[in-house]
Amino acid sequence: MRLRRPATRVFAPNGRPAPTATELLYMTDYLAEFGMAPDLDLYARGGGYSFIRMCEALLDGLPEELPTMDAAVLAYHLPDLQVIEVAGCYLAGRLPGSPAVFSVSGQGVGAPFTALRVLDCLRRSGALADGAVFVLDQTTAPYPDSSTHGGAVRDCALLLRTSLDDGDAGVALDFLDECPVDDPAPVLDALARRHPHPRILAGQTLAARLDPDLRARLDIVDGPAHHLCTSAWAALAEHWPRERYTVVADYDPHAGRLFQAGLRPGRPA
């Protein structure tokens, strides 16, 4: 499977009005299962952008029309702030080909990697020619989340598109891997020995766990701050691999899992 250069859109904080009666009832019933009550002050300080608003703005800003797609995946950490409208239905109607749309979550920053693995399996089975992953960082929630609120994450949307295998556009996806590790440093060291002088693009949650000496020795590029699931992939958009083998990597501290994607160089796409 081949990937095209990601497109990104970061959103300035927009604030969020008080939830409607239906939204408040949903939040209250949901959080009651965990012995919690909605924190409406925290909710009001969120970025204020729903999945649909972010996807719409991202798609409207693309320089060219998208091709017909077979599948699209939403990958995220925090769920959508909108509990009535469904982003998957919006994308199925908006994207060419009316693709099947589903979500991957519950894995922190690993969600985009798993979403790509799903698309790769669909491609290998013959069910996918072209597809996309919409990676979404959403920050409006009526409960505290250490990954989001602890890192001052901003609302952000990122589009990862596949490219037809019979063309030469984009980069070739060489491998996808996830493994349980307490310390990701030895794994990255071993990676650098297998692929001499790779460029390693580390999402913020991974970069924060790495010793500065290791980061300097392996020439690790940090993903942008104030991003979560989008951090490592936003670094790929900025450091597109034209000549150098590149690895996109991130670490989920809650599950203790390191996620990696190896990319062979290609031309701009």
Residue 255 and residue 196 share a domain: yes
Residue 240 and residue 186 share a domain: yes
- What is the domain range of residue 178? 170-267
- Position 269 confidence tier, pLDDT thresholds 50, 70, 90: very low
Q: Higher pLDDT residue, 136 or 129?
A: 136
Residue 130 and residue 26 share a domain: yes
pLDDT tens per residue across span 192-220 = 988 878 999 999 999 999 999 999 999 89
- Position 149 confidence tier, pLDDT thresholds 50, 70, 90: confident
Mean pLDDT of 42-53: 93
Residue 242 and residue 110 share a domain: no
Residue 35 and residue 137 share a domain: yes
pLDDT tens per residue across span 48-98 = 999 999 999 999 999 999 999 999 999 999 999 888 889 999 999 999 999
Burial code (b: 16+ CB inside 10 Å, e: under 16) for 93-125 equals ebbebebbbebbbebbbbbbbbbbbbbbebbee
Residue 120 and residue 17 share a domain: yes
Q: Which of 66, 59, 52 is nearest to 129 (CA)?
A: 66
Q: Which of 116, 93, 90, 128 is nearest to 4 (CA)?
A: 116
**CA-to-CA dists, residue 59 to 101, 153, 157, 230, angstroms:** 16, 22, 10, 16
Q: Higher pLDDT residue, 20 or 234?
A: 234
Q: Given 163, 192, 221, which residue is the final one in a domain?
A: 163
Count of domains for the chain: 2
Average pLDDT over all residues of the chain: 92
Burial class (CB in 10 A: 0-12, 13-18, 19+), 149: middle
pTM for the whole structure = 0.94
Looking up residue 247, the CATH number of its domain turns out to be: 3.40.47.10
Residue 191 and residue 108 share a domain: no
Residue 268 has pLDDT above 70, yes or no: no
Q: What is the pLDDT of residue 128?
A: 85
Phi and psi at 36, nearest 5°, equal: -125, 160
Phi and psi at 92, nearest 5°, equal: -60, -35
Residue 225 and residue 179 share a domain: yes
Residue 159 and residue 198 share a domain: no
Residue 17 and residue 99 share a domain: yes
Strands 170-180 and 257-267: what pairing? antiparallel
Residue 67 and residue 177 share a domain: no
